[in-house]
Amino acid sequence: MKKIYILLVGILGFGISSCDDFLNELPTEAIAEEEAFTSVKDFSNNLNGVYNEMGNYRLFGRDVICLGDAASDIVFHSASSGHFLTLSEWQVQSTEIILEDIWNYGYKVINNSSRIIQAGETVDLPETSEIDGYVAQAYGLRALTTFALTNIFALPYTDANKSTLGIVNISTPVEVYQEVSRSTLGENYTHILSDIAKAKEYFGKEDVEDPGSYYMNLNAVYALEARVKLYMKDYAGAIAAANEAIDLRGGSLANTPDAYTSLFTSNSISQEDIFTLVKSAADHPGANSLGTMYTLYGLSIPAAILSQYPETDIRTSILSEYGAKYSGTSEGADASNIGIFRLPELYLILAESYAAQGNYAEAKENLLVISLARNPGLDAASIPENSQIVSFIRQERKLELIQEGHRYFDVRRWQEKITVGRGKYQNYDPSLFAYPIPQAEINSGFGIVQTEGWDRNLPK
């Protein structure tokens, strides 16, 4: 991973550099590793740098979220711009710059989180509880980012797929010119769950304070665990983690048009937010913001999807063909709060997990928490209390989580066939497909191999 690791070795305090300067920085210009963590302020500064990289538009600030919808059946591309056009049209190449950006910035977060973890577990400083809190967040951020990259560049988790190639697991910082190799998909998930467990362990240490919803807090760690275990079909584990996250969060769901609109147009943390990345207008101006992908740069919600919302559904207060959840706040058109974890997802995880266990009464109860809040005109009796409820749960996930980056990954794990590429490819099963490792990474010659025959499973 030459391109990533040469840049990252010894680079701490990276949050103060511009993206372009950082990408061109040589390791000899970086802060020496032994001088990087000499005070608690160093931990704080470097963790802020990790959050800056995570929120960059090349990762969770736009591309990871956008990919989850643009590659699916619920968003179209008008071809008015090149942004995401090739991926939306399923003209995938291993040289695709968006995939390369996601890979590179994902490993910046992973590698620099590893540096914080390593330093926190070895440094001898008096501010133990504060440092423990930073280490807890670093474990959570590494787990979240590893999970995202695994689901983009590897197949969905199944018993049959566990032995297939995943991504590179990183437990300790990778040094310059160090050769690496891809782990298996099963090893990736073991690593993710281990990091989640360590995050919970560090949050549980004496006097560690919860950092709040603008950061990877304990509530978000449980929400991540619920999502991961849902993907693994560990339904009992998903239920336990989701319930813990709901209990920690409290909060309530918006049930009026104004309340729902304010979830996405306010600068403040809402009752539904668990972990939110705050993006100012200065962070991602113009084409770099998530919202302008829908308002200016070609992506849209087709009429066939919008028509699936009942007339009494409050979500139509903000959704329209080119209107978006992330189309600006009072701070400006390019500002947004990007919800990485929100309360509604947890109720949907509970509904799906209970249904998978055959507990249809609990499945319905949790589904109705969402459905009745968003659609006050819903007749609760219309929701079946049998195996047919699964289709209602999947439909609610589609309607509730649109534009939040879930749809592509949902249909993969359900092995559901969909129509993609604006109707060009029908009955396509994306569970057979994994995006290629960026060709620049393969060409660097540091041990990473391409997924053999990845292009055989493109839609035809």
pLDDT digits (tens, 9 = 90+) for 104-123: 999 999 999 999 999 999 88
Cα 23 from Cα 26, distance rounded (Å): 9
- Longest CA–CA separation in the chain, Å: 67
Least confident among 14-28, 219-233, 388-402 = 14-28
Half-sphere exposure at residue 6, Cβ-oriented, CA atoms within 13 angstroms: 12
Half-sphere exposure at residue 285, Cβ-oriented, CA atoms within 13 angstroms: 1
* Contact (Cβ atoms closer than 8 angstroms) between residue 196 and residue 143: yes
What per-residue confidence (pLDDT) applies to 285? 64
Check pLDDT > 80 for residue 150: yes
Cα 119 from Cα 36, distance rounded (Å): 9
Q: Please give the helix or strand (H or E) that residue 342 lies within, else none.
A: strand 336-342
State mean pLDDT over 298-311. 93
Q: What percent of the chain has pLDDT over 70?
A: 91
Cα 382 from Cα 377, distance rounded (Å): 11
Check pLDDT > 90 for residue 335: no
Check pLDDT > 90 for residue 175: no
CA distances to 120, 151, 235, 340, 449 from 416, in Å: 43, 16, 19, 24, 29
Check pLDDT > 50 for residue 268: yes
State mean pLDDT over 184-201. 98
**pTM exceeds cut of 0.85:** yes
| pLDDT band for position 279 (cuts 50, 70, 90) | confident
Partners of residue 341 on adjacent β-strands = 275
More confident residue, 320 or 159: 159
Supply the Cα-derived Rg of the chain in whole angstroms: 21
Helix or strand or coil: residue 396? helix
Average pLDDT, the chain: 89
Check pLDDT > 90 for residue 71: yes
State mean pLDDT over 144-169. 98
* Contact (Cβ atoms closer than 8 angstroms) between residue 389 and residue 324: no
Phi, psi angles (nearest 5°) of residue 435: -65, 145
* Contact (Cβ atoms closer than 8 angstroms) between residue 408 and residue 71: yes
State mean pLDDT over 72-94. 88
| pLDDT band for position 284 (cuts 50, 70, 90) | low
pLDDT digits (tens, 9 = 90+) for 347-367: 999 999 999 999 999 999 999
State mean pLDDT over 245-263. 95
Sign (positive/negative) of CA torsion 390, 391, 394, 400? negative
Q: Closest Cα partner for 46 from 129, 170, 131? A: 131
What per-residue confidence (pLDDT) applies to 106? 98
Check pLDDT > 60 for residue 23: no
Helix-strand-coil split of the chain, %, nearest 5: 50, 5, 45
Q: Which residue has the tokens 């978006």?
A: 324
Q: Which fold has domain 1-209+429-450?
A: 1.25.40
More confident residue, 178 or 436: 436
Check pLDDT > 80 for residue 303: yes
